Amino acid sequence: MMDQGIILRADLTSRRFEKEQLDRELRHKFVGGRGINAWLVFRETAAHIDPLSPENVLIFGCGPFSGTSAPCPARFNVTAKSPLTGILGDSNAGGYFGPAMKRAGIDHILIQGKADEPVYILIDDGKPAIRSARHLWGKNVRETETLIKRELGDKRIRVASIGQAGEHLVRIASVIHEERAAARTGMGAVMGSKNLKAIAVRGTREVTLYDREGFNTCARNLHKKIGASNAYEHFRKKGGSTGTYSTDKAGFLAVRNFQQTGGFEGIDNFEPLKVAARYYKANKPCFRCPIGCGKKFEVPDGPFAGEWGNKIEEGAFTPLGPVCGNANVDSIFKMNNMGNQYGIDLIEFGQAAAVAMEWYEKGIVSAEDLDGLELTWGNYEAMMHLMEKIAYREGVGELFAEGIVRAAPKFGKEAEKYVSHCKGMVMAGVDSRMLKGTSLGFATATRGADHLRALVPVEFPAFPVMTPEQADAKFGSAEVLNPVSYNKAGPLIYYQNISILPDLFELCRFLLGLGTGTKEFKYDHLAELYYFASGIKLDEPQMLTIGERVFNVERAFSCREGMGRKDDHLMGKWAREPVPNGKYKGELIDPEQWERMLDEYYRLRGWDKNGVPTIEKLTQLNLKEIADSLKQAGVYG
């Protein structure tokens, strides 16, 4: 039988550790990773705590396949109450840290309290210790990883750490592991608030599996199929700029802070094969990945010659490029490295820089207001200075370090209108005004505007996933294929529930296409692997119920913090202004149709008119303790 997993509780205040057996019921209800993390944060925190206080907890979680021979089992999830949004925050990253945790015998590391000086946690094959990090404080991520590995005399120790941004409690700070970023929702600031510079893990044990032979045979076959498949060629050959380029061509790219939708004049510089030829040197995949989108890169010439690294994603190309009107790709590689060394969320940073550029263009701010920075479109040098100021909270960086939603009012009432976000989190440069289901997905995603958790693939005209007959059979109407139709509540709920699953197993999302599965890796394969790993049988309806359960836990967390219907809207210019150009020119969000779609969404979700999961729904999902907590917090009135 599979071991049920261990929660390692690290109390930094008392410097004590405790191990808690993860009970089988939790596995059944939430599987692992993001699911169990979310439930633990809900259980361990009281409503309305300050996310940067010792009362917050920070949890690292891996999944049931982490460290096994399954394809792409590399993710780990970092979860806490977010200092950026004030609701549940979480973010995940790949690499080798999650597998090392699992092989060290730990499924979740729950960090509470606050150390009285900078420390790092070492977990050596399950044996935990707290070590001083005074010599590491002030160092960037790459230096921190190198120094810890040197100090411990083991290059294969896996380290997740914060840079200067996390130390300075920058609300858009990320946690980084070998250039893989758990970037969103400010988890790096929570880590910094606990005086925790890093976690280092050595894991050499074999993961316990219910049926090892069955698991390995199944995994081997999947590796073969995926490795031979053309379906993953774009990731394998072209790496991270593919999404930027194809989104532009499909007419959804938010250029210059939504002033233009697609058709970026510098887009040819982002053509993926061109980027691959100029910068990529070798594959740098995550643990047991047969796809390999990670690339070792180097800028060959020009002012940034020699700038090297091991991973760059669409989440760097888009926000640092077209969103800011920047067509200089060399500079994006440089800023990608800066962000990964300071530990800053590049999506939040790029969007903030774009907003400031529009303020500058419209005369809302001057260079004087920005410490002399001339934030004209595409001015990457000014962007670099701004990023440095944010990382150290210097000058105007002090304001931007609070996140652009909090910073905007400090620049005047007019300034707020240019910030497009949901629940305090900006989105990644996709213009969804013509995609009504995806817009609702952004508005209701549980961690804020979220391109990874908001998409309704059935409505994307450029990437068809279903025929009208299939759409009719699955969602009761072929109208869901029409991007501008508001008949999207049902499909959105389906995609929201199913696309949680990779995060519960901590598998790479690319393995499952847009989250819906691929020909080579379907949810049936997931179920098969899970059976061999755990002895637990799951079919698709059961998996969807687990996805729904986790979504409701996350939603309940927001409701306990006072969020509800008023927050399920797009904020800023994308909520008010029509699409400026292209095929969908003039398209905007109609307020009446939006409210009707929201009503339908709540009804289908089993939530009340204010968007709160009802007691009946939570009880049906076997979440009675969550319902009790909401009752106690007065959420039901």
Q: What character string, x for contact with ligand SF4 (CB under 6 A) and - otherwise, covers 194-233? A: ----------------------------------------
Pairing mode, if any, of strands 254-255 and 88-93?
unpaired
Q: Quick check: 400 binds ligand SF4 (CB under 6 A)?
A: no
CB of 74 to ligand SF4, least distance (A): 5
Nearer to ligand SF4, 95 or 483 (CB): 95
Q: For the CB of residue 241, give the shortest distance to ligand SF4 in the complex, in Å.
A: 14
The DSSP symbol for 435 reads -
Query: How many whole angstroms separate alpha carbon 558 and alpha carbon 552?
Result: 10
Q: How many CB atoms lie within 10 A of CB 606?
A: 15
Show contacts with ligand SF4 in window 84-123 (CB under 6 A). 94
Nearer to ligand SF4, 170 or 347 (CB): 347
Classify burial at 537, counting beta carbons within 10 Å of its beta carbon; exposed 0-12, middle 13-18, buried 19 or more. exposed
Smallest separation, CB 511 to ligand SF4 (Å): 7
- With CB under 6 A, what is the number of residues at the site for ligand SF4? 13
C-alpha closest to that of 28 among 609, 607, 545: 545
Rounded to whole angstroms, the Cα distance separating 175 from 304 reads 25
Q: Nearest distance from residue 100's CB to ligand SF4, in Å?
A: 15
The per-residue DSSP string of 485-548 comes to -S--HHHHHHHHHHTTHHHHHT--GGGGTTTT--SSS-HHHHHHHHHHHHS----HHHHHHHHH
Nearer of residues 235 and 601 to ligand SF4, judged by Cβ: 235
Q: How far is the CB of 476 from ligand SF4 (least distance, A)?
A: 34
Q: Please, what is the minimum distance in Å from the beta carbon of residue 515 to ligand SF4?
A: 13
Q: For residues 56 and 499, which CB has a smaller minimum distance to ligand SF4 in the complex?
A: 499
Contact call for residue 235 and ligand SF4 (CB under 6 A): yes
Residues in 334-363 that interact with ligand SF4 by CB under 6 A? none
By beta-carbon proximity to ligand SF4, the closer residue of 29 and 525 is 525
Nearer to ligand SF4, 76 or 304 (CB): 76
| CB atoms near residue 320 (< 10 Å) | 32
Angle at 193 between CA 103 and CA 82, to 5 degrees: 80
Whether 259 and 429 have beta carbons less than 8 Å apart is answered as: no
The three-class DSSP label of residue 585 is coil
- Closest distance of CB 287 from ligand SF4, Å: 8
Q: Which of 476, 500, 503 is nearest to 490 (CA)?
A: 476
Site for ligand SF4 in 412-431 (CB under 6 A): none
In the range 53-72, which residues lie near ligand SF4 by CB under 6 A?
A: 72
Residue with tokens 């698991």: 215
Smallest gap from residue 292 Cβ to ligand SF4 (A): 5
Phi, psi of 452 (to 5 degrees): -80, -20
Please, which residue, 453 or 569, has the CB nearer to ligand SF4? 453
Q: Which of residues 123 and 293 has its CB atom nearest to ligand SF4 in the complex?
A: 293
Please report whether residue 183 would count as binding ligand SF4 according to CB under 6 A: no
Closer Cβ to ligand SF4, 181 or 527, answer by number:
181
CB atoms near residue 234 (< 10 Å): 17
Tokens 């399920």: give the residue.
568
Residues 6+ apart with CB under 8 A from 92: 33, 34, 75, 76, 77, 78, 182, 503, 506
Tokens of 511: 């393995």
Least separation, in Å, of the C-beta of 37 and ligand SF4? 19
Measuring CA to CA, which residue among 149, 130, 68 is closest to residue 102? 68
Q: Give me the phi and psi of 123, to 5 degrees please.
A: -120, 105
DSSP string, 423-473: TTEE--SB--TT-HHHHHHHHH-BTBS-TTS---GGG-TTS----HHHHHH
Cα distance between the two ends of the chain: 45
Contact set for ligand SF4, span 257-296 (CB under 6 A): 285-286, 289, 291-294
To ligand SF4, the closest distance from the beta carbon of 236 in angstroms equals 8
- Minimum distance from residue 140 beta carbon to ligand SF4 (Å): 22
> Could you give the CA distance from residue 170 to residue 177 in angstroms, rounded to a whole number?
18
Distance (Å, rounded) from C-alpha 572 to C-alpha 179?
32
Site map 1..40 versus ligand SF4, x via CB under 6 A: ----------------------------------------
Structure tokens at 258: 């939504």
* Shortest distance, position 203 Cβ to ligand SF4, whole Å: 18
Strand 180-182 relative to strand 175-177, pairing: antiparallel
Instruction: Give 74 or 157: the residue with its C-beta nearer to ligand SF4.
Output: 74
We find the least distance from the C-beta atom of residue 520 to ligand SF4, in angstroms, to be 13
Whole-angstrom CA distances from 94 to 106, 232, 367, 617 are 17, 17, 39, 34
Q: What are residue 546's phi and psi, to 5 degrees? A: -65, -45
Nearer to ligand SF4, 36 or 512 (CB): 512
The answer to whether the CB of 70 falls within 8 A of the CB of 64 is no
Is the Cβ of residue 508 or residue 563 nearer to ligand SF4 in the bound state?
508
Site string for ligand SF4, 492-531 (x = CB under 6 A): ----------------x-x---------------------
Displacement of CA 172 from its chain's centroid (Å):
12
Minimum Å gap between C-beta 288 and ligand SF4 is 8
Closest C-alpha to 338, from 163, 90, 109: 163
Nearer to ligand SF4, 284 or 417 (CB): 284
Q: Nearest 10 degrees: CA dihedral of 316, 317, 320, 326? A: 170
**CA 592 – CA 547 distance, rounded (Å):** 30
Nearer to ligand SF4, 160 or 575 (CB): 160
Using the rule CB under 6 A, which residue among 74, 157, 404, 498 binds ligand SF4? 74
Query: C-beta of 234: minimal distance to ligand SF4 in Å?
Result: 11
Of 243 and 294, which CB lies nearer to ligand SF4 in the complex structure? 294
The distance of closest approach from Cβ of residue 284 to ligand SF4 in the complex, given in angstroms and rounded to an integer, is 7
Q: Which is nearer to ligand SF4, 310 or 482 (CB)?
A: 310
Binding site for ligand SF4 (CB under 6 A): 72, 74, 94, 235, 285-286, 289, 291-294, 508, 510
